[in-house]
A and B are shown apart, each in its own frame.
Chain A
Amino acid sequence: MQRVDVFPTHEHQEYKLRPGKPFPFGATLAPGGVNFSVYSSHATSCSLVLFEKGAPEPKAEIPFPDEFRIGNVYSMIVFDLDIEAIEYGFRLDGPWDPQEGHRFDKSKILMDPYAKAIGGRDVWGQPPDWDNVYQHRARLVYDDFDWDDDRPLEIPLEDLVIYEMHVRSFTKHESSGVRFPGVFAGIREKIPYLKELGVNCIELLPIYEFDEFEHSREDPKTGRQLVGNYWGYSTLGFFAPKAGYAATGKLGMQVDEFKALVKELHRNGIEVFLDVVFNHTAEGNEHGPYISLKGIDNKTYYMLTPEGYYFNFSGTGNTLNCNNPVVRNMVLDCLRYWASEYHIDGFRFDLASILGRDPWGAPLSNPPLLESLAFDPVLAKCKLIAEAWDAGGLYQVGSFPAYGRWAEWNGKYRDSIRKFLKGDIGMVGEMAQRLQASPDLYATRGATASINFITAHDGFTLNDLVSYNEKHNEANGEDNRDGTNDNDSWNCGWEGPTDDPGINALRMRQMKNAMTMLLISQGVPMILMGDEMGRTQFGNNNTYCHDNELNWQDWALLEQNAELFRYVKTMLAFRHAHHALRNRWHLTGTDTVGSGYADITWHGTQAWNADWSGTSRILAFMLCGKHAHGGQREDNYIYVAMNMHWDSHWFELPGLSEGMQWHAAANTGAPPPEDIWQPGEEPLLENQAGILVGDRSVVVLVGK
């Protein structure tokens, strides 16, 4: 017998209708039709606008009958739609009263905020028809992907090594050698590479649908076209993967292609994190375009000044009103959707401090959105990572409301390591904190609160950090004014590329030093795409606007810098081999297992006697293997000596228990192949009493 609830009750022209379900919002496939549901607190009427895919004009407009509105939600089932062939939008009428926060304009066709696929920018860089009345078009998707037995991997956070990457940049360069460059399928082809490197998590710069043409402009000096939104930190729709990031975007199969990537990464033991941008949208301020939220319910979705202008805590024109309950629910719905429908393992929240502001911009002590995310049942096993600051001056590294769940990008880790690396004095005390996952910042939150990074998409690459003293952002067309001046970088004696073998050798050593410090630190390391092979942005520390070799990974570097790549992947293997480096909780500096050694002890050129003075550039520490994971796991002892002074120094070694001896795991001062050894193949140290650590070098030993 046919279900009664699939009978149409209303008609509009040739369309058969029935009152819809208010939840879930958005377009949902229902028996025989599609359920459309949209919320607006101040609209006076709403219509569903239907297009044939790609057609310039709508083929139908179906007003929601009055009786189809429950509360502030318009919902309607439309029967017999061809799911594959249509695009839809909404047209809302309501007051035009900017001072009151209302900007309704019934001449606009608006995208569903819950659109699960969006047409209009199907192929990256293909110029759109700017006269199109509906630029970004909501489409319908099936949730029929065959996941087999896949689900999020749930790798313990302390065991992750995160690789931050941009979908297009990773394989767009012709040297990538992939069949499908610059897209999800291209990343899938590079999975063997990621496994060889040894990362077990990729964090993708935003993949929610965005418009690469937003803010496009010409460089006034060179005439070169600049892509305003190359990185993608300006969202059109929170539920849709970017079509232009799929080789199949032109066929409307981006959902399948991205899911296939996630599934394949999972099969290879690699988690997928998304960099998500909930602090603002692509609609800009009062001069920006109508795309969706602005015309649907401006006052609900955006933080507005008392005069009705847009607060700008994001630095990009508007601020999403995240602690309005309706917006909060949208964010929750969105993340649940990605976790359940796409099997995403974790999220990194761009400018997350904004999510802790109230609708008038004031920081909340107990922000409901952050709390809801932390306690959400669907997101319960997802990793949540905050960029714990915003463009409005809120800086919460160490104080971000964490609810026992949130980890943070540790900006202080980056700054301390960079300064110590280049030989600044007065850093050893801070270094001791950073190497231990910053207990000064995260005392009660454990080691995994600290996402350690030295470089990220925003700023210098590692190669540039050791090759440039100053930013070189002229190519951005703003006379080098954009981008931070606080780089804490050192060019090793010459600004930019050089043939000087001494300088190049020092740069190589400094990159190895940095990678070593990153990978022997407690906490969760994050590597920037390409740093393992010396990727350069030619001194540009703000490449948000370049769709070219400034961003694209040049895979020829893999051969040119084979020495660096070998070092980094072996150091990654070293990290994965040693539980002592990957503690869940902070070390205590005491012996809690009766091994005769504290879990961590500090040393210098003299064993047991670190030089904490203000002029020191030297620090060494030892991890007691019997304390690994609070004593639950047995590991080797690990000793790390860091000499950031320009002279070599003799380091006296702490003695090991009877029967154990020191072996050399890595020495950045030694020429390859003796700079690093495969775990398990470390040669015995001839002199067990001490070791010479070269100038600006790091030595890692294992005691076994």
Chain B
Amino acid sequence: MAFDVSTEQAGDIAVITLSGELDANAAGSFRSAVEEAAAAGPKRVVLVMDKLQFMASAGLRVLVFAKQKMGTSVDLFVVGARDAVLETIEMTGFHHSVIMMDEYDASEIENY
């Protein structure tokens, strides 16, 4: 399935929704979305991944980029990662660097 990414800004929360397969070809548009979101200076960034089916090394690179681009004062949430994607995140230990959530919980994100 083709990769798609969309970004929504709600106050100081940026929500980036990913779907399809995040491979080397798709990583560029994901990266652009992260840069765009970062430019708005959000306090929290939420990556919604429940429709993401696969993530290659290039995708992980963008996650690592997102974490470092936002800086330590911005909380990065990964929401709804499933199966293969979740496993990849856990195998590489990236879940230690972000806040993992099963489902989008607006109040928890807002009050974190």
Q: Which of B70-107 contact A (CB under 8 A)?
A: 72, 88, 90-94, 96-97
Interface size band for B = 20 to 34
| Cα(A264)–Cα(B91), bound, Å | 12
Structural contact, B93 and A247, CB atoms closer than 8 A: no
Confirm or deny: B44 has a beta carbon within 8 angstroms of a beta carbon on chain A.
Answer: no
Q: A84-B24, A246-B91 are in contact. Are A252 and B57 (CB under 8 A)?
A: yes
Question: Do residues A84 and B68 form an inter-chain contact, with CB atoms below 8 A?
Answer: no
| Interface contact B93-A253, CB-CB below 8 Å | no
A73 at the interface (CB under 8 A from B): no
Kindly list chain B residues whose C-beta atoms are within 8 Å of the C-beta of A183.
91
Of the candidate stretches B2-10, B12-20, B33-41, B58-66, the one touching chain A is B58-66
Size range of the chain A interface in the assembly: 20 to 34
State the Cβ distance, A488 to closest chain B Cβ, in Å: 42
Q: Which of A255-263, A317-325, A466-474 contacts B (4 or more CB under 8 A)?
A: A255-263
B57 contact from A145, A188, A253, A261, Cβ within 8 A:
A253
State A84–B58 Cα separation when bound (angstroms): 6
Q: How far apart are the CA atoms of A247 and B84 in the complex, in Å? A: 12
Distance between A82 CB and nearest chain B CB, rounded to angstroms: 6
Residue of B nearest to A117 (CB): B57
Contact across chains for B93 and A260 when beta carbons are under 8 A apart: yes
Please state if A264 and B93 are interface contacts (CB–CB under 8 Å): yes
> How distant is the Cα of A142 from the Cα of B97 in the complex, in angstroms?
18
Chain A residues in 8 Å Cβ range of B60: 253, 256
Q: Which residues of A contact B58 (CB under 8 A)?
A: 84
B92: which A residues are within 8 A, CB to CB?
185, 248, 253, 256-257, 260
Does the CB pair B56–A260 fall under 8 Å?
Answer: no
B64 close to A148 (CB less than 8 A): no
B45 at the interface (CB under 8 A from A): no
CB-CB < 8 A to A248: which residues of B? 88, 91-92
Residues of B within 8 A of A66 (CB): none
* Residues of chain A within 8 A of B65, CB atoms compared: 144
Closest beta carbon of chain B to A252's beta carbon, Å: 5
Report the minimum CB–CB distance from B90 to chain A (whole Å): 7
How near does chain B come to A5, taking the closest CB pair, in angstroms?
A: 24
User: 8 tightest CB-CB pairs across the interface, nearest first?
Assistant: A260-B93, A84-B24, A256-B92, A84-B58, A247-B91, A252-B57, A185-B91, A248-B91
The contact sample of 30 A-B pairs, CB cut-off 8 A, is A82-B24, A84-B24, A84-B57, A84-B58, A84-B61, A142-B61, A142-B64, A144-B64, A144-B65, A144-B68, A145-B64, A146-B67, A146-B97, A183-B91, A185-B90, A185-B93, A247-B91, A248-B88, A251-B57, A252-B57, A253-B60, A256-B60, A256-B64, A256-B92, A257-B91, A260-B94, A260-B96, A263-B93, A263-B96, A264-B93
Given contacts A148-B97, A180-B91, A251-B56, 7 further A-B contacts (CB under 8 A): A84-B57, A142-B61, A144-B64, A256-B60, A256-B92, A259-B93, A263-B96
Seen from chain A, the residues whose Cβ lies within 8 Å of a Cβ on chain B are 82, 84-85, 142, 144-146, 148, 179-180, 183, 185, 188, 246-248, 251-253, 256-257, 259-261, 263-264
